[in-house]
Amino acid sequence: MATGAAIAVENVSHHYRPPKKRPVHALDQVSLEVGDREFVALLGPSGCGKSTLLYLIGGFMPIESGSIRVNGNLVTGPGPDRGVVFQHFALFPWKTVLGNVLYGLENIGVPREEARERAQKYIDMVHLTGFEDAYPNQLSGGMKQRAAIARTLAIDPDILLMDEPFGALDAQTRGLMQEELLSIWQRTRKTVLFVTHDVREAVYLAERVVMMTARPGRIMESVDTRFDEAGPGVMDRPEFVEKASYIWNRIKGEAIATVAARAS
Amino acid sequence: MVATACRYSPLLLLALMWEAAVRTGLISDLVLPPFSAAVEGWWDLAVTGDLFPQAFASLRRAALGLGLAIALGTTAGILMAWNAKIRVFINPLIQMFYPLPKSALIPVTILWFGLGDMSKIVLIFIGCLLPIVVSSFNGARGVEDVLVWSARSLGASRRQVLWQIVVPAAMPEILTGIRTALAISFVLLVSSEFIIARDGIGFMIAGFGEEGVYDRMFACIMTVVAMGFFADRLFQLFMRRVLIWRE
Ligand SMILES: Nc1ncnc2c1ncn2[C@@H]1O[C@H](COP(=O)(O)OP(=O)(O)OP(=O)(O)O)[C@@H](O)[C@H]1O
Ligand SMILES: [Mg+2]
């Protein structure tokens, strides 16, 4: 087993077993390593098991076969070392934006004053200033998503598991949030596993893009996506465009397979 | 204010029709005293000082029975959702008692707990318990996994999740169950006092009915209606306050 891996997934399979229905084979023999402080993007057709993999690393569901280690320790349950941004936000609807962001800070024992300050800092960072006292029901999808991001970043976890964290954002806000995430990652050197459907986003943000097959999800290929140049300008460079279109074509094949499987 | 007046104008209309029906002789005043007589009777009872202590005695029984049912019912319902063993143990009991008309237990509670407060409180407790257990269970059962998961990854322990996530997430259903129980508590209160009691508003209704003092009987009935109405309104206001986040 390689040391230095922040996340080490080995031969993990997963079946969902809904009561009185056929089991769903979601993941098949998945092995994946994410190095310490590495930024990895996970791409794959809808329903291939990306969220499932994130949930398993998060420790939310029992692992039926294979093993997952985080910083060398077997995952047996959730913990604040792995911050999760959920695909559907999972904000607490009975708490205000501020209440949601404070929740984790209070749980990990940050003193009151400092917690307030930190919460405000992250609320400002995701541009929700002025919405501290709003309930999630009063927010748009994009605003909810940003509140969820602030809540997770506020507790400063070593590992970030992000499930399409910018999926509900408009292009402009998305660009801003991407830069924020990159700057946080560069400053605090977190390990990031980032699920997205946006190939350009994956290639731009991540050091490495991992592609998954259609269900049951398997790791298909891993592509190095580091470039010499930093900043959004890199997206116009030929080597960027080439990588992105290569990945796009690989994913497209899988997406077609998914649709074909659905139709049959 | 005006809007409220408009909303309740049908009630005023009903009172007027009642008055008119008796005055014109459409309905004999032997079976229905005119509305004005009932109001007069109410005033007499209120002034002589009998009505309020009796109503209070009744309210106290309802409050104690309901309060106990809330305390035990929410706990049981949430624990059932939390733990499969507890669920397996309690479920058959619920299935058996749920369809039972609770007024059938009136003779039993009187036999076991006497004619006083206790038999009524126990009856109301039993009647209110099940809707609260069931709604708390459903509420706690329906809490989305991802809410629990996000709390856990934000540093909450399993036990903290119960208080910080499951209870507030289940609160809308719990409160709906309590509102149902509140209505049930009035039904059981009046019917148990009606059948056998030494005091209370239901006892007064039965007493005046037997004596043929119908204006006072109707005065007491109107009082029960008002009590039930205001209790429910008050509870609805409380619900809206607690569930402000759903607006
Ligand atoms: N609770 C569940 N019960 C049964 N099947 C499930 C459950 N959750 C997910 N699945 C199935 O498992 C497969 C993988 O789901 P998952 O949510 O991990 O996919 P995904 O890659 O995240 O998809 P998307 O990109 O659309 O979010 C899907 O086919 C889905 O239908
Ligand atoms: Mg998903």
Q: Along the 264 residues of chain A, how does pLDDT read in single tens digits?
A: 445 799 999 999 999 999 899 999 999 999 999 999 999 999 999 999 999 999 999 999 999 999 999 999 999 999 999 999 999 999 999 999 999 999 999 999 999 999 999 999 999 999 999 999 999 999 999 999 999 999 999 999 999 999 999 998 999 999 998 998 999 999 888 999 999 999 999 999 999 999 999 888 999 999 999 988 888 888 888 999 999 999 999 988 877 877 777 666
Chain position carrying tokens 């992105």: A244
B160 touches A: beta carbon within 8 Å: yes
Backbone angles phi, psi at B50, to 5 degrees: -85, -35
Let me know if residue A208 belongs to a domain.
yes
Minimal-distance CA residue to ligand 1 atom 5: A16
From the alpha carbon of A52, which atom of ligand 1 is closest?
Answer: 18
d(CA B225, CA B135) in angstroms, rounded, equals 26
CA distance, residue B176 to nearest chain A CA (Å): 17
The answer to whether residues A209 and A240 touch, using CB atoms and an 8 Å cutoff, is: no
B241 touches A: beta carbon within 8 Å: no
Verify whether ligand 1 is closer than 6 Å to residue A146 (CB atom). Answer: no
Task: Identify the pLDDT of residue B79.
Answer: 92
Verify whether ligand 1 is closer than 6 Å to residue A49 (CB atom). Answer: yes
Let me know if residue B92 belongs to a domain.
yes
In the predicted model, what is the mean pLDDT of chain B?
A: 91
The yes-or-no verdict on residue B76 having pLDDT over 70 is: yes
At CA A66, angle to CA A64 and CA A69, rounded to 5? 110
Minimal-distance CA residue to ligand 1 atom 22: A51
Q: Where are the alpha helices (DSSP H) in chain A?
A: 50-58, 97-107, 112-125, 141-154, 171-188, 199-205, 238-263
Chain position carrying tokens 């985080």: A70
d(CA A213, CA A253) in angstroms, rounded, equals 9
Number of domains forming the structure of chain A: 1
Let me know if residue B155 belongs to a domain.
yes
Chain B interface mutation, best of A55, A56, A60, highest count of B Cβ atoms under 10 Å:
A60
Task: Identify the pLDDT of residue A3.
Answer: 55
The answer to whether residues B184 and B70 touch, using CB atoms and an 8 Å cutoff, is: no
Residue of A nearest to B149 (CA): A60
B144 touches A: beta carbon within 8 Å: yes
CA distance, residue A226 to nearest chain B CA (Å): 30
CB contact under 8 A, A151 and B152: no
| A235 HSE (CA, 13 A, CB side) | 11
- The predicted complex's ipTM stands at 0.92
Q: Could you tell me the CATH number of the domain that includes residue B175?
A: 1.10.3720.10
Q: What is the torsion angle, in degrees rounded to the nearest 10, for the CA atoms of residue B46, residue B49, residue B51 and residue B53?
A: 140
Let me know if residue A189 belongs to a domain.
yes
pLDDT tens by residue, B173-224: 999 999 999 999 999 999 888 888 788 888 889 988 888 888 889 999 999 9
CA distance, residue A137 to nearest chain B CA (Å): 7
B155 touches A: beta carbon within 8 Å: yes
pLDDT tens by residue, B91-106: 888 888 888 888 888 8
Q: Could you tell me the CATH number of the domain that includes residue A203?
A: 3.40.50.300
CA distance, residue B163 to nearest chain A CA (Å): 13
Mind spelling out the 3-state secondary structure of chain B?
Answer: CHHHHHHCHHHHHHHHHHHHHHHCCCCCCCCCCCHHHHHHHHHHHHHHCCHHHHHHHHHHHHHHHHHHHHHHHHHHHHHHHHCHHHHHHHHHHHHHHCCCCHHHHHHHHHHHHCCCHHHHHHHHHHHHHHHHHHHHHHHHHCCCHHHHHHHHHCCCCHHHHHHHHHHHHHHHHHHHHHHHHHHHHHHHHHHHHHHCCCCCHHHHHHHHHHHCCHHHHHHHHHHHHHHHHHHHHHHHHHHHHHCHHHC
Verify whether ligand 1 is closer than 6 Å to residue A14 (CB atom). Answer: no
Number of domains forming the structure of chain B: 1
Task: Identify the pLDDT of residue A2.
Answer: 47
Residue B142 belongs to what domain range? 48-246
Residue A77: its H or E element: none
In this structure, which amino acid lies at residue B168?
P
Residue A87 belongs to what domain range? 38-51+79-263
The yes-or-no verdict on residue B134 having pLDDT over 50 is: yes
Q: How big is chain B, counted in residues?
A: 247
Q: Residue A60: its chain B contacts at CB < 8 A?
A: 145, 149, 152-153
d(CA A56, CA A169) in angstroms, rounded, equals 26
Residue of A nearest to B152 (CA): A78
Among A50, A89, A166, A195, the mutation site with the greatest number of ligand 1 atoms within 8 A of its Cβ is: A50
Let me know if residue A234 belongs to a domain.
yes
Let me know if residue B30 belongs to a domain.
no
Let me know if residue A31 belongs to a domain.
no
Chain B interface mutation, best of A107, A138, A149, highest count of B Cβ atoms under 10 Å:
A107
User: What 3-state DSSP class applies to A33?
Assistant: strand
The answer to whether residues B148 and B168 touch, using CB atoms and an 8 Å cutoff, is: no
Burial class, A9, CB count within 10 angstroms (exposed 0-12 / middle 13-18 / buried 19+): buried
- Over the range B4-34, which residues count as b (16 or more CB within 10 Å of their CB) and which as e? eeeeeeeeeeeeeebbeebeeeeeeeeebbb
Name the residue among A44, A30, A48, A40 with its Cα closest to residue A251.
A44
CA distance, residue A153 to nearest chain B CA (Å): 10
Verify whether ligand 1 is closer than 6 Å to residue A16 (CB atom). Answer: yes
From the alpha carbon of A49, which atom of ligand 1 is closest?
Answer: 18
Verify whether ligand 1 is closer than 6 Å to residue A52 (CB atom). Answer: yes
Minimal-distance CA residue to ligand 1 atom 4: A16
B159 touches A: beta carbon within 8 Å: no
B153 touches A: beta carbon within 8 Å: yes
From the CA of A118, how far away is ligand 2's center (Å)?
Answer: 29
Name the residue among A51, A129, A117, A116 with its Cα closest to residue A84.
A51
Identity of the residue in B154, B168, B246 whose CB atom sits nearest the CB atom of A107: B154
Q: Which pair of structure tokens corresponds to residue A25?
A: 């084979």
Task: Identify the pLDDT of residue A68.
Answer: 96
Chain position carrying tokens 């986003």: A201
Choose the weakest-confidence range: A70-74, B32-36, B230-234.
B32-36
- Considering every ligand atom shown, identify the ligand nearest to the alpha carbon of residue A20 and give its number: 1
Let me know if residue A27 belongs to a domain.
no
In this structure, which amino acid lies at residue B82?
W
How distant is the alpha carbon of residue B37 from its chain centre? 28
Name the residue among A148, A228, A160 with its Cα closest to residue A188.
A160
From the CA of A164, how far away is ligand 1's center (Å)?
Answer: 14
Let me know if residue A20 belongs to a domain.
no
Among A14, A15, A16, the mutation site with the greatest number of ligand 1 atoms within 8 A of its Cβ is: A16
